[in-house]
Structure 1
C-alpha cells in the first residue's frame, strides 16, 4: 500500500468513527506532515484523494473540511475505453502551438521543458570544454553506435543502483530520448501496424505514428491510476498490436505513475500477447519522496521492453543526449541509427561521461526535485485560489505538469488562443489525443518560479475561463 493510501485510510476511518465531524477543519497540510511524518506532497495527494471520494472539501485560503456524509465513490473515469485511428493528422497543430510559444516575453506554461534556470549550466559547460580540449582524434569512431563506452557503463551503473541488470552493450546512445523512442518504434513495426498509446498521450508519440504511417489504439488512462489494464487487454485481444508506447512514471500530460503491481501486470500482459513495450521514461528521476520509481523494464524477463530516457529533463535540454536500453533489439536499433543521425554528438557524449563520473549530478538532482516540488505545490495553490470552482486541477506527486479539466462544454484550444494574445502559453488537450475527447483540458508547466508575472498570468487565465463560462 502506498504511503498516501495509508493516510487516506486513516483519515477516512477517523471520519467514519466521528473523530472528525461534518464541517470540522482538518490539520493543515504542513501540520499533517508533522503528525504523519510524511512528505508535503504525500499529504497533499491523500487529501486530494479524500476530496475526490467526497470525504472532505476544500475552501480557498481556508483549508480542508469534513464534507457532508455521502456514499463512498471512486473517481469518475472516462466511458471511452479504446479509440482507434487509422490515420493521424496532428503534426501541423502541434507545430503551430510550439512555434507560438517562442514569442518573446511569453509566460510559457505550455513548455515541455523545466525552467532552464534550474539546470547546472556552468558545471555542464565546464565538462564540455574539458571534453573538447582533451578529445582524442579517434573520438568520432569511438562514439559511433552504440555510443561512448564510458557513458554507457555509467548509465548501466544507474540501472544497477535500482537493482536492474542492463549490460552496457544493450544500451544505445541517441540524440535525445525522442530519437531513442523513434528508433525503437521503427525496429519493431512496419507501416500500417497497430500501436497502443495512452489516452491522453505525449504528443511526440502521435507525431511519430503519423510520420511512420502507423495506426493508433488509444487506451483509457486515469489521471491518478494510469493506463486501464483491462481496456489494454481488450485492445490486445481485438487488434494485432505490434508495440505499446507508454509512459508509466510521471506520465506526460497527466502526471500519473503506475504502481509496481500494475507495472508487473502490464509486463505479464504484453508477454502473453508477444507485444513489445517502448517505455518512455524521461521523468522518473523527478520524484518527490521515497525513491526512484522502478521502470516497467525492471519486471521484464522476456527482453520485450525497450527502455528510453535522456538527460534533457533533468540536466540540460540543448545537449540532446538520450539512450535506449534495448536488450535484444540493440543491434537493429544501431543499424537504423547509422542510416539516420549516424550518432549522437561525440564531444557531448564525452562531456556527459565526465560530468556523470562526479557527484555533481546526484547533488543537482536532489536540489532539482526539491525546487520542482515547491514550485508545483505553489502553482497548484495559486490555481486553486484563482480558477473557478468548476475547473478540476489534477495533482500528481512528481514531475512538473498539472492537468487541468475545464467544464466539458468549453474548448481549451479557444482558451489557448485567447491567452496567447496576452503572451500566455498553455498546452491545449487537442495536442495529446487523436480525438476530441480532451478538447476541454490543458496542461500547465509548474516548474517556473511563482513570481509576480506568473501570478498575473494565472489570474488572467482565470479571468479568460470565467469569461468563457459567462458567454
Structure 2
C-alpha cells in the first residue's frame, strides 16, 4: 500500500485530483481506513475537501486504477485488501492434456462429513451463510403455497416441472442475456442433479469429458461414478478455461462433452469474458461437442451487472445450462434447473429414472419469492456482504500466511483459492485444522490427478473475529511447514 500512496503523491507538482487521491491513499496507509472498510462518499469528500464532485470522481478513479480502492454497486467505494497477486495461469503442456480415470471419492466424502460437524469453524464446504438467507420469508411462502396448491403439493411433479417456477426462471435469465422459453427448462433437485442429468443424457461409460482444472470435486465424483474419464483443461485464475488448451485437447482426443463454470467458478472464482464465452461455444459447436454450463453463482456478482452465460451464444442447442438457488436462497430446498437444448427429451427421461420428480412445495415457494419476495433486493444485500468478506479474508491471508502465498481475486461468489508455498502439505494442514476445530477444503480433491497439493479453498461466507482467528491459526500451521 505504501507504494500506492507514493505513486499518487510523487512528481512534485500535481493536479488537484492527484492531491485528493494522495490524501486518501495516505489515510489508508496510516490505518484510518482498513481493508474492506467504506471510504467517504463522493459528495461527502467533496464537501470536506472543498473541491468539486468531478475532482473527487477523478481521484477515486485514479485510486481504483492503482488498486487502492474498489467501487461496489449501490454501496460506494471501499478499501481493497492488500493481498498478493493471483497465481499465474497454469502452464499448458501436452503431458498434462491426457484423459485420466477419476478416484477422489474417499477424500471428498471425508471432507464433506467433516464439514457438517457442529461447532467447527466452517471454512471448508462452499455453503452460504444462513444468517444472510431469507429463511423466515421463505418459510411463510412455503406454508402459504402448500395450502394454496394443496393437491399439486401432495402429488408428483413430472418433468419438465413446476410451471410457475420455470416462468420466473425464464424471466430472470433475460438479465444474463439469455432468452429462454419456460418450456425449455426442466426443474431439478439442485444444480448437482442438473449436471448429473446432463452427463447421463450425453455420455456413456468410457467417454472423455473435458473439465476445467481445478474443478469442483462433486463433478469429478459424478464423472467417476458414471465410468467416464476426465480431461483436465488448465484455467486462468481470472479468465477461466484456457481455450488454446481446449482446442489442442479436442484435436487430439475424442472429447464427448465439456463441463465448465463460466461465471465465478468453484474454486478459482474466475469470470470468463463474454468474447471467450462466445469463442468457447463456437469451438465446441464446430465439432458438435455439447457444453454443460454451470451458472450456480452467476447471481452473486460483485458488480452491478449480472454476467452473461455461454448459453446466450448457443445456436445449435448444444449448451446445457444448469443452475439452482442453493447459493442464493436455500440450499436445503434443493431447487435447481437445466435448460438442456436439443437434449431435453433425454434429460427428462433421465430425470424420471433418477427420482421421478422434484418436490413441488419448495419449487412453489421459490417461484413465489422470485415473483414477490424481493429477490433483487436480497441479491444486492448479499453481494455487498460477500464482496466485503472476500476482501477481509484475503487481507487476513496476506497478513497471516507465509510469504509466497498467493490468493485468488474473485469478482463474485464467496470462496477463495489459496496457493501456498510448495513446502506446505495441505493434507497435513487439513489434519491440523480439524484438530483445531476448523474445516478447510484441500486442493487435491479438485483434480482427477490429485494436483494442487499446496492449495486450499476457503469459504468467506462466514466472517467474524472467530473466523479471522481461524485464518491466523491456519497461517501459523502453514508457516511452520515452511521453516527449514
Short-chain TM bin: 0.7 to 0.9
Where does residue 385 of structure 1 map in the other structure?
399
Please tell me whether residue 261 in structure 1 is matched to residue 270 in structure 2. no
CA deviations on 1:87-134 (whole Å, 9 max, x unpaired) are 211111100111112222101111211111111100001111111222
Kindly report which structure 2 residues correspond to 1:213-362, keeping only aligned pairs within 5 A, or say none.
213-362=227-376
CA deviations on 1:22-53 (whole Å, 9 max, x unpaired) are xx99935866996557999x9499569xxxxx
SS of the counterpart of 1:219? strand
Runs of 4+ in 1 over 6 A off after TM superposition: 11-20, 29-33, 37-40
Please give the alpha-carbon distance, in whole angstroms, between the structure 1 residues aligned to 2:183 and 2:170. Answer: 9
Distance verdict in 2 for CA 1:266–1:134, change over 3 Å: same
Where does residue 382 of structure 2 map in the other structure?
368
Please tell me whether residue 424 in structure 1 is matched to residue 431 in structure 2. no
Where does residue 208 of structure 2 map in the other structure?
194
Where does residue 56 of structure 1 map in the other structure?
none
Please give the alpha-carbon distance, in whole angstroms, between the structure 1 residues aligned to 2:404 and 2:13. Answer: 29
Kindly report which structure 2 residues correspond to 1:391-410, keeping only aligned pairs within 5 A, or say none.
391-410=405-424
SS of the counterpart of 1:312? coil
Please tell me whether residue 465 in structure 1 is matched to residue 441 in structure 2. no
Deviation at 1:406, TM superposition (A): 0.7
Please give the alpha-carbon distance, in whole angstroms, between the structure 1 residues aligned to 2:405 and 2:40. Answer: 26
| Structure 1 contact 249–295 (Cα < 8 Å) conserved | yes
RMSD of aligned residue pairs (Cα, Å): 3.1
CA deviations on 1:148-188 (whole Å, 9 max, x unpaired) are 11111111111224442111111000000010100011111
Deviation at 1:330, TM superposition (A): 1.4
| Structure 1 contact 282–310 (Cα < 8 Å) conserved | yes
Aligned pair count reads 438
CA deviations on 1:251-289 (whole Å, 9 max, x unpaired) are 000000011111111111011121100001100100011
| Structure 1 contact 246–280 (Cα < 8 Å) conserved | yes
Segment of structure 1 superposing worse, 374-383 or 83-92: 83-92
Please tell me whether residue 455 in structure 1 is matched to residue 468 in structure 2. yes
Distance verdict in 2 for CA 1:273–1:47, change over 3 Å: farther
| Structure 2 contact 191–324 (Cα < 8 Å) conserved | yes
Where does residue 79 of structure 1 map in the other structure?
91
Please tell me whether residue 443 in structure 1 is matched to residue 443 in structure 2. no
Kindly report which structure 2 residues correspond to 1:92-103, keeping only aligned pairs within 5 A, or say none.
92-103=106-117
Give the alignment partner of residue 121 of structure 2, picking from 104, 107, 128. 107
Deviation at 1:396, TM superposition (A): 1.4
Segment of structure 1 superposing worse, 115-124 or 132-141: 132-141
Give the alignment partner of residue 206 of structure 1, picking from 217, 220, 231. 220
Where does residue 8 of structure 1 map in the other structure?
none
Please give the alpha-carbon distance, in whole angstroms, between the structure 2 residues aligned to 1:32 and 1:189. Answer: 55
Segment of structure 1 superposing worse, 228-237 or 391-400: 391-400
Distance verdict in 2 for CA 1:470–1:174, change over 3 Å: same
Give the alignment partner of residue 183 of structure 2, picking from 169, 192, 202. 169
| Structure 2 contact 159–187 (Cα < 8 Å) conserved | yes
CA deviations on 1:278-307 (whole Å, 9 max, x unpaired) are 001100100011310001111111111000
Segment of structure 1 superposing worse, 305-314 or 101-110: 101-110
Distance verdict in 2 for CA 1:96–1:142, change over 3 Å: closer
| Structure 1 contact 84–215 (Cα < 8 Å) conserved | no
Distance verdict in 2 for CA 1:12–1:143, change over 3 Å: farther
| Structure 2 contact 86–407 (Cα < 8 Å) conserved | no
Deviation at 1:446, TM superposition (A): 0.7
Distance verdict in 2 for CA 1:463–1:279, change over 3 Å: same
Deviation at 1:335, TM superposition (A): 0.8
Where does residue 69 of structure 1 map in the other structure?
none
TM-score (norm 2): 0.83
- What 5-or-longer segments of structure 2 have no aligned partner? 1-5, 29-34, 43-55, 70-79
Please give the alpha-carbon distance, in whole angstroms, between the structure 2 residues aligned to 1:187 and 1:157. Answer: 26
Please give the alpha-carbon distance, in whole angstroms, between the structure 2 residues aligned to 1:39 and 1:302. Answer: 45
Please tell me whether residue 413 in structure 1 is matched to residue 427 in structure 2. yes
Please give the alpha-carbon distance, in whole angstroms, between the structure 2 residues aligned to 1:77 and 1:17. Answer: 39
Please give the alpha-carbon distance, in whole angstroms, between the structure 1 residues aligned to 2:130 and 2:193. Answer: 22
Please give the alpha-carbon distance, in whole angstroms, between the structure 1 residues aligned to 2:253 and 2:88. Answer: 27
| Structure 2 contact 444–452 (Cα < 8 Å) conserved | yes
CA deviations on 1:342-382 (whole Å, 9 max, x unpaired) are 11101111111222110421111111111111111111122
TM-score (norm 1): 0.86
Give the alignment partner of residue 141 of structure 2, picking from 122, 127, 131. 127
| Structure 2 contact 87–406 (Cα < 8 Å) conserved | no
